Amino acid sequence: MSSVPDDPWFDRDAGPVVRPYALTGGRTRPRGESFDLLAVVGSAVDAKAIDRMLLEPEQAQVLRFCRKPTSVADLASELDLPLGVVRIMLSDMRERGLITIGKPVRTGMTDPRVLKDVVDALRRL
């Protein structure tokens, strides 16, 4: 794929338009159990032990980022890819046993008293 601005597969604002399609194999939905934006992704394998030839560059990046558990939203931001593409890519990696996807950690921020205190503090600003 050429990155020449006159190329019909290049959008000046969005960049190459084919890559996300290629990453998902044309799919629009992830496989397996669903997960949300705050789900925690961790590497299930040693990134150094994986043959990089078997991974897309973005998958190798995911393994590097997930040395420490990372949220799906943070991964999408770090990879600079649409969330839907990242979800599909993560579901594929989970099927291959490369990553684990866990439930988000509850922080207690749903306690109405805590939320009221935060709102009150913001109003005082």
Q: Is the pTM of this model over 0.75?
A: no
**CATH, range 30-124:** 1.10.10
- C-beta of residue 58 within 8 angstroms of C-beta of residue 79: yes
With cut-offs at 50, 70 and 90, classify the pLDDT of residue 98. Answer: very high
Mean per-residue pLDDT for 89-114?
Answer: 83
- Burial code (b: 16+ CB inside 10 Å, e: under 16) for 16-25 equals eeeebeebbe
Mean per-residue pLDDT for 16-21?
Answer: 62
Q: For the chain, give me the number of helices (H) and strands (E)?
A: 5, 5
What the block records as the tokens of 58 is 């973005």
Mean per-residue pLDDT for 103-115?
Answer: 73
- Largest Cα–Cα separation, the chain: 57
75, pLDDT greater than 60: yes
